[in-house]
Amino acid sequence: MLSINLQHSDKFIVIFASCFITKGHGRSLIIDSQRGKFDLIPNDMVDFIQNSKLYTIRTLFKIYGTDNKEIVESYLSFILENEYGFLANDKIRKKFPEIEVKWQHPSKITNSIIDVKVFETTQEIYLQTISQLDTLQCEALQIRSYISLSESQLTYLAEAIKNTCIEHLEIYTKYNDQLTLKKLNKLLLNNQKISNIIIHSASKEDEYEVIKNLSTIYYTAQTLTDETCCGLVEKQYFNAIKDHYMEANFHNSCLNRKLSIDGNGEIKNCPSMSKSYGNAKDTNLVSVLTNEDFTAIWNIKKDFVLTCQDCEFRYVCTDCRAYVETPDNLYAKPLKCGYDPYTNEWSDWKENPLKQKAISEYQLTNVKRTLF
C-alpha cells in the first residue's frame, strides 16, 4: 500500500496518456500500451478516473465521503503503484495531452501467410509471390508448413526474402529427425530475418534462443495438420502493445492488410477461409487488392462484432472471421472464444452447446489443438 497520505493533497492524479481504458459491459480494462500489459478494473473505478480529471485529490476524498475513504485510497494506490498515473499540480497537468488514437501504415499489405502442403506446389508460386509482396511493402511473413521441410527447402524459402522489404519471417515446420538443431542454427545465422522457427509434432516442448539473431527455435508436441487449427481466442494471445491497440480501434485485428496463400496456391484473406480470389499461379496480388470484397473485411473491427463490442478485451483481443458462432453472419462473434463479457466468465468454447452447430458446419474434428 501507499505510504504517503494523500487525503489532503491539492494535486491531481493524471493517468499516463499511454494507458487506455476500455469499458466493458460488466467491468473494464486498463491497458498499458507502452509496456504491453493490462489489468481488469471495476467500472466504478472508470467513473472515479473521470472525476479525477475535474477535482483535486482532497476534493475527491470529500466527494466520495468517509464511507468510501478506503475505496478511494485503494484506487489511488492501484494507479500509482502500477504506474498507470502520476501526481501533478494544477499548472502542469494541463500540459499532458492525450495520445491521439490513430493508425496509419505505408504498406498496402503488412503481413502475409503462406501455407505449405506440398512443397512443389508452393515452390511454383513462391518467388513471384515474394516479389509481389515486396512491391506491396509487406513487412512480416509467416510460412506454415504442415509437412516436414528439409534444410535445403527451408534455405530456399528464407533466401528469397533477403533483399526484400520483408523484415520478419516466422516458419512453422513439422518435426523430422534429419533437421538437426545444428542445421537450424546455421539457417538462422545465415538468415537474420527469421525471427522464429517453430517445429511442431515434436516429441517434447523445448526452446532455444539464438542470441546473435534475437531469434528463437521452438519445439512443440502439438500437431498442425491443417488450417482448422487456427483462430483460438485465449487470454495468452492478447496483445496490449500500442500498435495493436490502435489498429484494433479501426480495423480487424487479424485480417487487416493481410494476404494469404493457402497450400494450393489460392489467394485468400486467411488460409482458413473458403473464399479464393484466384490462384497465385496466374493472378496478380496487386489486382486482388482492387477487389472490394477482399479489403472490406479489413474494416470489420471489434466495435462492429456482436458480443465483442461489449467486451473489455476488444482492443487487445485478436479477431477471427474464419470461424464464427453463426457462420452466415458477417458480424458474429469468433467461435473459438470461451469468454462471456456479460457474465465475465471464461468457459471451454468446445463444450458450449450453442456452438455445436457451427463446430460441425466447419468440420472441426480435432478441436483440441492450441498451437497458434
Partner 1 sequence: MILIKSNADDYSTTQVLKWLVHFNKKFLRLNNSTLLKHLEIKDDTISFVYGNQKVILSDVSKYWYRRGRWDTFSRKQLRHIQDKKLNTYLNFFNKEVERDVIATLEKSLFSKSLNSYQTSSNINKLDVLKSCKELGIKTPETLVTNSKEALKDFVTTHTTIITKAVNNLDPNIKGNVFADLMTKKITLENLDTLPKTFNISLFQNLVEKEFEIRSFFLVDTFYSMAIFSQNDEKTKVDFRNYNMKSPNRCVPFTLPTSLASKLRELLKIYKLNSASLDIIYTTDDEYKFLEINPIGQYDMVSKPCNYYLDVEIANHLAS
Binding stretches for partner 1 (CB under 8 A) = 16-18, 34-35, 83, 86, 89, 91-92, 95-102, 104, 106-108, 137, 165, 242, 246
User: Which residues from 215-254 bind ligand SF4, rule CB under 6 A?
Assistant: 233
Eight-state DSSP code of residue 6: -
Quote the least distance from Cβ 104 to partner 1, whole Å: 6
Q: Which is nearer to partner 1, 86 or 119 (CB)?
A: 86
φ/ψ (deg, to 5) at 156 = -55, -45
Quote the least distance from Cβ 189 to partner 1, whole Å: 19
d(CA 323, CA 336): 7
- 368 exposure class (CB count in 10 Å sphere: 0-12, 13-18, 19+): exposed
Q: Work out what residue 311 binds among partner 1, ligand SF4, none; the CB cut-off runs from 5 to 8 Å by kind.
A: ligand SF4
Residue 263 corresponds to which cell in the numbers above?
497450400
Q: Work out what residue 339 binds among partner 1, ligand SF4, none; the CB cut-off runs from 5 to 8 Å by kind.
A: ligand SF4
Going by C-alpha positions, the residue among 261, 263, 259 that lies closest to residue 297 is 259
Residue 325 one-letter amino acid: E
Q: Considering the rule CB under 6 A, would residue 337 count as an interface residue with ligand SF4?
A: yes
Q: Work out what residue 86 binds among ligand SF4, partner 1, none; the CB cut-off runs from 5 to 8 Å by kind.
A: partner 1
Going by C-alpha positions, the residue among 122, 183, 117, 121 that lies closest to residue 145 is 117
Quote the least distance from Cβ 304 to ligand SF4, whole Å: 12
User: Which residues from 276-315 bind ligand SF4, rule CB under 6 A?
Assistant: 302, 307-308, 311, 313-314
Q: Which is nearer to partner 1, 101 or 286 (CB)?
A: 101
d(CA 9, CA 115): 60
- DSSP string across 111-167: EEEEEESSHHHHHHHHHHHHHHHHHTT--EEEEEESS---HHHHHHHHHTTTTSS--
User: Which residues from 120-179 bind ligand SF4, rule CB under 6 A?
Assistant: none
Q: Which is nearer to partner 1, 138 or 322 (CB)?
A: 138
Residue 243 corresponds to which cell in the numbers above?
500498435
Q: Which is nearer to partner 1, 81 or 206 (CB)?
A: 81
Residues binding ligand SF4 (CB under 6 A): 233, 302, 307-308, 311, 313-314, 317, 333-334, 337, 339, 341
